Amino acid sequence: MTNGPVGGASSLFEALYADEDAVVRALRAGVSAESCDEEGTTALYLASVQDLPGAVRLLLAAGADPNRASGPDAGDLPLCGAACGGHSEVVAALLSAGAEPDLTEEFGFTALRWAAGLGHARVAETLLAHGADPDLPGPQGETPLVVAARRGSAHTVRTLLRHGARDLSPALEEARRMLTLDVERELRDALRRMYGDEAHESVVRRTPVDGGVTVTVGLLRGGELFASQDLQTGHGAIATLLEGELGLRAPFEELAVRALREGDPGLDNWLVAVGALGRRGDEETFQVAAAWTASEDPLRQLFGVDVLARLGFGDGGKPFADRAVPLLRGLARTAAPAAAEAAARALDGYEGGPGELRPGR
């Protein structure tokens, strides 16, 4: 806690870096909640980008305008700054205080455009729940759904679809395009275009996020990180989700490739493909899944088991039980460990209740 008298705009900015009690004292001493620093940055904008929800609420209660632009050229909005950082609590506070969800800042960015482009699904959900337009184009004329598809955030794409996003075909085209690329290479090339082709050492980090993986590539100078970019890897799940919305049926092998790309049965790329195949519930899908379970590739074998575990269940029946159950019993005894365990779980679903089947969407 900061002690002593406060006064003048500078004290409010100092208080933001201290604690909420200091902010209260500055405001009670008469400092305007609309105060700016020497560069035109408002206190509310600074609190928003620094993810200080308590300070944001105090400033709003004291009269700070949530729609007031900030910065030397008055080009930055508190809501956009918070959305860019993924600060969902701050975004909610600003919207509750009257921030306009579709207000555009400099260069044509809206808060939803920032959230979609950076994979901040929770922020996108909050903005859409407060009336943000899911189809409002950004600075290059791209809708949030297309931007989210490029980003690779299946969670954000689902959120936009739930709120009525309509730009399905261009988003599907973008997701399919991204599937042809090596994400690490794309990020590394983008950084080198920005910072030159000098012999910068690069580092790669892969972080599980929202049913997918965020790949971050950074450049080092003198052993210190000085630039980085990241993308998520849910493009397979996104393509499958959008195909479902459009009534398109992807080839079996394409769905398998999407699922196996990351090699992780817990990721959306896998789960969404399993769900799409399970909902087909037809003889051709049964034959393909059964063939996958005979593969020498343990991962493909596991994928086949997961499809059989869901096949046709969506209508409340179990149309392939008479053939799937004997096959799964054999796999439970003889398959690779992961596939054997999955086969045992699938038998629970066929012979009892839903067991421990994972959701496919």
- Per DSSP, the three-state class of 47 is helix
Task: Write down the pLDDT at residue 236.
Answer: 98
**pLDDT tens for residues 86-120?**
999 999 999 999 999 999 998 999 999 999 999 99
Which residue is it, tokens 């890897």?
Answer: 233
What is the DSSP track for 206-227? EEEETTEEEEEEEEEETTEEEE
Task: Write down the pLDDT at residue 8.
Answer: 60
Domain residue ranges in the chain: 9-163, 183-233, 265-351
The mean predicted confidence, pLDDT, of the chain is 93
Q: Which residues of 288-308 are buried (b: 16+ CB within 10 A; e: fewer)?
A: bbbebbeeeeebbbbbbbbbb
Residues 6+ apart with CB under 8 A from 154: 210, 211, 212, 232, 234, 237, 238, 241, 268, 269, 272
Q: Which residues of 107-133 are buried (b: 16+ CB within 10 A; e: fewer)?
A: eebbbbbbbbbbbbbbbbbbbbebebb
d(CA 341, CA 280): 24
Task: Quote the radius of gyration of the chain (alpha carbons, Å).
Answer: 25
Measured at the CA of 51, the angle between CA 50 and CA 55, to 5 degrees, comes to 95
pTM of the predicted structure, to 2 decimals: 0.91
At the fourth CATH level, the homologous superfamily of domain 9-163 is: Ankyrin repeat-containing domain (1.25.40.20)
One-letter amino acid for residue 249 of the chain: R
47 token code pair: 């609190």
Low-confidence ranges of the chain (pLDDT < 70): 1-9, 199, 315, 353-361
Contacts made by residues 298-303, CB under 8 angstroms, sequence distance 24+: 298/335, 298/336, 298/338, 298/339, 299/260, 299/263, 300/256, 300/260, 301/331, 301/335, 301/336, 301/339, 302/265, 302/336, 302/338, 302/339, 302/342, 303/256, 303/259, 303/260, 303/265, 303/270, 303/273, 303/274
H helices within 109-230, ranges in order? 111-118, 121-129, 144-151, 154-162, 168-179, 183-195
End-to-end CA distance of the chain: 47
Report CA-CA distances (Å) from 129 to 122, 146, 168, 187: 11, 20, 20, 32
Torsion sign over Cα 288, 293, 297, 302: positive
Instruction: Yes or no: say if 340 and 306 are a contact pair by the CB < 8 Å rule.
Output: no
